[in-house]
Amino acid sequence: MRRDFYMPTRIVWGEDVLVHIGSFLRDLPVKNILVVTDPIIAGQPFFTETIARLSDDGFRISVFDECGIDARVAHIDEQAARCRRESISAIVSIGGGSVMCTGKGIAIVATNSESFREVTGVGNFQKEALPMVMVPTTAGSGSEVSQFTIVKDDERHLKLLGGGPLSFPTVAILDPVVLLSLPQRAATFSAIDALSHAIEAYLTDLSTPFTDAIALEAARLQMASMRGSILDSDAKARGNNLLASAMANIACGNARLGHAHALSLPLEGHLDLPHPLGVGSLVPWTFKFNAEVVPEKGTTFAQGLGVDIKGLSAAEAVDAAVDTIFELYDALGFPRHLSNEQLPRDRIPDMAKLAVPGMYGSTVPVVIDQTTVIASPSVRAMTVKHATEIYELASGR
Ligand SMILES: [Fe+2]
């Protein structure tokens, strides 16, 4: 079988590397830039200093600072039209996952269509997206090294995925200084999402020795740096946390994401659950579910998470890994379970059926019953019945 590993994004990192942003843009080269951010980041000194520096460097800057908790189709379509109208030739995204996903959506639509709805799915557009420079202000989504963007369609209550080889960011600038502005809760949520990317990437049918090595090291770095980065604001830990979240996404960009992300999608689209809460509550259980069919990989990953596996069976090592993940949640104040308000019990059967299409644009079967398999590249096939059980576990029932 043919296998492939592709990651063309240039990654630069280190304390204060953001001050050199102009030199990366000059290399492209571009002149008119749209800077995408959210209202909170727009008020941070590092943001205003970056804009001033870019202006001094001779770039013409337009700013879109209305991103919210999710990337939205309406924002993307409107700003892509603005790019065409104003001859904007590059997008700089400074923010968390939703900001970077908005910037990527704009970059794709600006060169390919009138609306993001026309380019959803994997590789469903022909022209190279506008050049993108990404500055993540959370150590989480990994969107800065990913070809994909996840966008909320408010009209249809859906989360849409789009992207392909022509929509990788051009440059990712990982500067731990920008994480200082991040509230602890937001830092925790994004870090748990990043950990889930490493876990999911390790247990798919598309994983390779390349992605396994990156996912394992990402998880090890994350476990070693999250407490220091988030609770103590330790500078070295912040840097490692940023690197680890990018690594986790490089792994899942190639090996894809699995059941936890597939099952989280309907919770996000229909119940408005934040993405990290959905995936974070599901991933310990989907890890255990998958590891049952690949016990050696489960054990190796448990070891990567810091579990002392000496004398443990594979099943015990995986259980210990699940405990380790929950201990991390406790230390960071992340909930072990979803509440009944977040995932009402009577909605679970619906959610399990709505999870069937997965996140990569698979065709939905006409009839969905308890034996229908959720579309996901995870190593173990999950039926609607299994998904129901996983939702119950994630709800602490
Ligand atoms: Fe995620």
Could you tell me if residue 290 is left (phi over 0), alpha (psi between -120 and 50 degrees) or otherwise beta?
Answer: alpha
Nearest to 248 by CA among 287, 202, 184, 292: 202
Q: What is the pLDDT of residues 55-87, one digit of tens each?
A: 999 999 999 999 998 899 999 999 999 999 999
User: Out of 3.30.565.10, 3.40.50.920, 3.40.50.300, 3.40.50.1970, which CATH number does the structure's domain 10-180 have?
Assistant: 3.40.50.1970
Q: How far is the CA of 264 from the centre of ligand 1 (A)?
A: 9
Token pair for 148: 């994909």
Q: How far is the CA of 168 from the centre of ligand 1 (A)?
A: 17
Q: How far is the CA of 55 from the centre of ligand 1 (A)?
A: 34
Q: How far is the CA of 344 from the centre of ligand 1 (A)?
A: 22
Q: How far is the CA of 279 from the centre of ligand 1 (A)?
A: 7
Q: How far is the CA of 320 from the centre of ligand 1 (A)?
A: 23
Helix, coil or strand: residue 174? strand
Q: What is the pLDDT of residues 317-354, one digit of tens each?
A: 999 999 999 999 999 999 999 999 999 999 999 999 99
Token pair for 386: 């299994």
Q: How far is the CA of 114 from the centre of ligand 1 (A)?
A: 27
Does 389 score more than 80 pLDDT?
yes
Q: What does R_g of the chain's alpha carbons equal in angstroms? A: 20
Report, as an integer, the average pLDDT of 191-205: 97
Buried/exposed code over 72-103 (b: 16+ C-beta within 10 A; e: otherwise):
bbebbbebbeebeeeebbbbbbbbbbbbbbbb
Q: How far is the CA of 20 from the centre of ligand 1 (A)?
A: 29
Q: How far is the CA of 193 from the centre of ligand 1 (A)?
A: 5
**pLDDT computed for residue 289 by the predictor:** 98
Count of residues for the chain? 397
Q: How far is the CA of 340 from the centre of ligand 1 (A)?
A: 22
C-beta separation of 72 from 154 below 8 A: yes
Rounded Cα–Cα distance for residues 99 and 91 (Å) = 11
**pLDDT computed for residue 362 by the predictor:** 72
Q: How far is the CA of 245 from the centre of ligand 1 (A)?
A: 10
Q: How far is the CA of 326 from the centre of ligand 1 (A)?
A: 18
Q: How far is the CA of 376 from the centre of ligand 1 (A)?
A: 14
Q: What is the pLDDT of residues 288-316, one digit of tens each?
A: 999 999 999 999 999 999 999 999 999 99
Helix H or strand E encompassing 365: none
Q: How far is the CA of 194 from the centre of ligand 1 (A)?
A: 7
What CATH number does the domain located at 192-394 have?
A: 1.20.1090.10
Report, as an integer, the average pLDDT of 100-109: 98
Question: Mean pLDDT score of the chain, rounded to an integer?
Answer: 95
What does the angle CA 189 – CA 318 – CA 200 come to, to the nearest 5 degrees? 45
Q: How far is the CA of 386 from the centre of ligand 1 (A)?
A: 21
Q: How far is the CA of 58 from the centre of ligand 1 (A)?
A: 36
Percent of the chain with pLDDT over 70: 100
**pLDDT computed for residue 159 by the predictor:** 83
- Sequence ranges of the chain with CATH classification 3.40.50.1970: 10-180
Q: How far is the CA of 282 from the centre of ligand 1 (A)?
A: 11
Token pair for 81: 């039209």
Q: How far is the CA of 129 from the centre of ligand 1 (A)?
A: 22
Buried/exposed code over 276-308 (b: 16+ C-beta within 10 A; e: otherwise):
bbbbbbbbbbbbbbbbeebeebbbbbbbbbebe
Least confident of 154-158, 246-250, 264-268: 154-158
Nearest to 169 by CA among 6, 9, 336, 377: 9
Token pair for 268: 């996000």
Q: How far is the CA of 371 from the centre of ligand 1 (A)?
A: 26
Rounded Cα–Cα distance for residues 266 and 275 (Å) = 10
- Sequence ranges of the chain with CATH classification 1.20.1090.10: 192-394
**pLDDT computed for residue 155 by the predictor:** 87
Q: How far is the CA of 197 from the centre of ligand 1 (A)?
A: 6
In the structure, what pLDDT confidence band is assigned to residue 188 with cuts at 50, 70 and 90?
very high
